[in-house]
Homo-oligomer: A and B are copies of this chain.
Amino acid sequence: MRRMTARPANAHQARLLKLLRDQGPNSRAQLGDQIELSRSKLAVEIDRLLETGLVVADGLAASRGGRRSHNVRLAPGLRFLGVDIGATSVDVAVTNAELEILGHLDEPLDVRDGPVAVFEQVLAMAGKLKDAGLAEGFDGAGIGVPGPVRFPDGVPVAPPIMPGWDGFPVREALSQELGCPVMVDNDVNLMAMGEMHAGVARSVRDFLCVKIGTGIGCGIVAGGAVHRGVTGSAGDIGHIQAVPDGRPCACGNRGCLEAHFSGAALARDATEAARQQVSAELAARLETHGTLTAVDVAAAAAAGDATSLELIREGGTRTGQVIAGLVSFFNPGLVVIGGGVTGLGHTLLAAIRTQVYRQSLPLATGNLPIVLGELGRTAGVIGAARLISDHLFSPA
């Protein structure tokens, strides 16, 4: 299959492509209702898009009491690759132009193995998806990495948990390997974009997306756009002080949020509790698995283990303290909680909510939903596909 080469020639075409992406097949009339453009002009632009091959005819729609409309849709052969690299696992998915997931793989991985090893694995996973017949090639790829990224050129900068990645030209290297345009961003930002595109944050223009996995980060969406900060490190809330003179953190300070609550901290606390025989439930799991993770704590809590519940509640409270400050500062319309620890579910959510509603100003919390993400581990890859499609569906 010939890969996508054309780009929208102007802002109107870009707008139309994004409408078709977000809403699927549409008739000219439906599109005309949503765009400030006369029918005639609209027809011209759609004809041009049809010529480029980005858009194809999609049969007749049902009549609404008059002449039946001719639908158009994005080219069905377009394929985006979404990659979400975490600290200990990676998700790779193929989507069509409407950002629907056609195939999704996840594998364990150690990001500390460095970019070369990681990309070998990622490319192999992409190859598997191709071999399964889901794509013959990719028109674009979005990549999320667990650290700060200099966004314009797609290069990680000084990532604390990714030694060996500093300055590696991710965008350029992958673009070369895949033979298509690539965009790179922080994994948390992509999760936020995913939830904004297809999750709980649909149509919300100002919100925070807190991702609690191995570490803790926060995607910031202001006015419908991701705020990345001047060096791409915005949202790095894991090292905000949550406990004065608290636990030592890898960053050199004490009391960082991440030192007190995160996937890694929770696993450590649980192991400690198991070893000290504080919790029989956890001790049994340690015996079985040889090591404990957040998943074990979630399972133990679900089984009613008091120690696990207390660990989750305390972590939620710490996290809630920090989020409370961010809510006062940023005044979002929504807070989304996601990431690996989402399995901790409503115990965690309740602790966070309690703390935020107690500490933040009533005006800021009055109508503030705090909810779990809706997309789970697909949020990142959908966000990645969204990132590259936003790029490709903009005038060149």
Evaluate contact between B328 and A237: CB separation under 8 angstroms.
Answer: yes
B230 touches A333 (CB 8 A): yes
Residues of B within 8 A of A158 (CB): 362-363
Stretch at the interface among A99-107, A221-229, A260-268, A286-294: A221-229
CB distance from A337 to the nearest CB of B (A): 16
Q: Are A230 and B359 in contact (CB under 8 A)?
A: no
A329 touching B230, Cβ below 8 Å? no
Across the interface, name the chain B residue whose C-beta is closest to A204.
B230
Q: Is the CB of B363 within 8 A of A148?
A: yes
User: Does A44 belong to the interface (CB within 8 Å)?
Assistant: no
**A358 in the interface (beta carbon within 8 A):** yes
A329 & B218 in contact (Cβ 8 Å cutoff): yes
* Residues of B contacting A23 in the complex (Cβ-Cβ under 8 angstroms): none
Of the stretches A45-53, A111-119, A192-200, A318-326, the one at the interface is A318-326
Q: Is there an interface contact between A364 and B329, defined as CB atoms closer than 8 Å? A: no
In whole angstroms, how far apart are the Cα atoms of A160 and B240 in the complex? 27
With beta carbons under 8 angstroms apart, the residue of B227, B240, B241, B329 that contacts A237 is B329
Interface assignment of A251: CB less than 8 Å from any CB of chain B: yes
A236 touches B362 (CB 8 A): no
Contact residues, A194-241 vs B (CB, 8 A): 206, 218, 220, 222-223, 225, 227-237, 239-241
A204–chain B nearest beta-carbon distance, Å: 9
Contact A157 B329 (CB under 8 A): no
What is the bound-complex CA distance between A206 and B153, given in angstroms? 19
What is the CB-to-nearest-CB distance from A75 to chain B, in angstroms, rounded to a whole number? 33
Asked if A8 CB lies within 8 Å of chain B CBs, one says no
Question: Which chain B residues border A237 with CB–CB below 8 Å?
Answer: 325, 328-329
Q: With A and B bound together, what is the CA distance between A253 and B160 in angstroms?
A: 35
- Encoded as 1 (CB less than 8 Å from any B CB) or 0, chain A from 364 to 386 comes to 10110000000000000000000
Partner of A231, one of B222, B230, B322, B363: B363
In the complex, the answer to whether B326 meets A229 with C-beta atoms within 8 Å is: no
Once the chains bind, are B325 and A240 in contact (CB under 8 Å)? yes
Other A-B contacts than A236-B364, A329-B329, A329-B330, 5 sampled, CB-CB below 8 A, are A148-B363, A237-B328, A240-B324, A240-B328, A241-B325
